[in-house]
A and B are shown apart, each in its own frame.
Chain A
């Protein structure tokens, strides 16, 4: 039998020699642009790697200055502005101490509540007297009194409505959402429209991505941009996710989505199923996010996966 590695080498999708020609000026411009940015002292980097993401999602691998580079003049005039992630809360116990920022994905859409969870998950104290605000399309939480000029205060702390958050999670969901089946682009567009209707999200649009691969067998959906669900061609979810994902999806569907549970029951069960069907070690527990929806009869569940699994359950606190 031929060595499987020989077969695997043959599946290399792009050899270096097959990359498209890139103008040398593109590379030199990138190199020069990067080298013109401030560089943190190496010793300080080694001794105080304090900027964190939510613990189990792994170490933060990106400097927040990334977005400052791309920001250009529009961002340059904001004192202390440093970027962060546009797709989740940026939590700073001290606005002037950017290296201590904790960032993560949206959990509930309430910036203050999510920062509280993220800070605790990172082993840090919650932000004192927290205030949520947006600045240049980014959402931050800092102590009151540290809000920079030009910020828009979020009085309620809610940056993403529950409906919009559920649409985001559902688009990535592999239990019964956007990643649960191999759909054609038209099928995914229809699925997205049905989801928008289910969630009562009026005024949202479903658009197709600029780049479409006619040979791609399936599609993806992304609802991270407010008001828009983007659908594009993509790989089969079966090939995208690890095989172990699907037994977990089956269990979450059968034991939560297809039954009638309270949100608390669903959360406990989701965490238990994750430990049983993932390859997580005993000390690598998952904390599912529970969002109370007392107007619903039964709990529902979304689970997405990238570097790690994020599970969100929505439902009533008591059975009808």
Chain B
């Protein structure tokens, strides 16, 4: 096969955005669906992430690094979403419609030891492990997503894997499920007083 001529980076913002969009919209959608309880909410996360990418197009790294950069943005959008700051974006409505009713496939292993072990890990550990296992990102890409140095990613990943293995071992040995502290605790509160303030 002859050597391919070097491809030119699209020159206009529209062309560059189109190129990024084409290369990343499906991985980004999958990333968001995996992390949300309601799949159609991923439409808003994807749209918001691309809006940010468009507005900050000059910040988007060239080439393959665009994908982890977008994951990093999506991670922040998801954090806001999970904090309850949910935005409904009109331009996401059609995508939302297409996602409505989609049911996440149920894996036989979904509730096995590894998921329980993951649930016991800190958020940072879980995310870095999922970026490897689910997003199949390389160390360099994870560094872009998390805004860390490559060395820091290596150390964190090593420690997270070690903790995951330890937790799996503990769970396998004890076979005792972790219980929710509040499960047997009364969840009523003392009656609130009335306030005089009104909106």
Contacts and interface: CB of A to CB of B under 8 A. Distances in A.
Interface of A: 1, 4-5, 7-16, 18-23, 25-27, 29-31, 33-35, 37, 39-43, 45-46, 57-59, 61-63, 65-67, 69-72, 85-88, 105, 109, 154, 156, 158-164, 166, 170, 172, 174-177, 180-182, 191, 194-195, 198-200, 211, 213, 215-216, 220, 222, 224, 232, 234-239, 242-244, 246-247, 249-250, 253, 257, 279, 293-298, 300, 304, 306-308, 314
Interface string B164-199: 110010000000001111110111111111110111
A297 B192 CA distance: 9
A296 B193 contact: yes
Contacts, number: 303
Interface stretch (B2-10, B93-101, B137-145, B148-156): B93-101
A5 B132 contact: yes
The secondary-structure label for the interface of chain B is helix
B117 interface: yes
B187 A199 contact: no
Contacts of B47: 30, 34, 66
A62 B86 CA distance: 12
A307 B178 contact: no
A72 to B, nearest CB: 6
A61 B77 contact: yes
B90 A72 contact: yes
Q: Considering the complex of A and B, which 7 residue pairs feature the smallest CB-CB distances, nearest first? A: A42-B58, A306-B83, A61-B76, A295-B193, A70-B90, A307-B79, A180-B182
A121 B187 CA distance: 32
B33 A70 contact: no
Given A198-B191, A307-B79, A14 B121 contact: no
Interface centre among A35, A164, A174, A249 (most CB of B within 10 A): A35
Contact of B187 (A9, A21, A177, A236): A177
B52 A63 contact: yes
B181 A29 contact: no
A13 B105 contact: yes
Nearest to B198: A161
A12 B134 contact: yes
A254 to B, nearest CB: 10
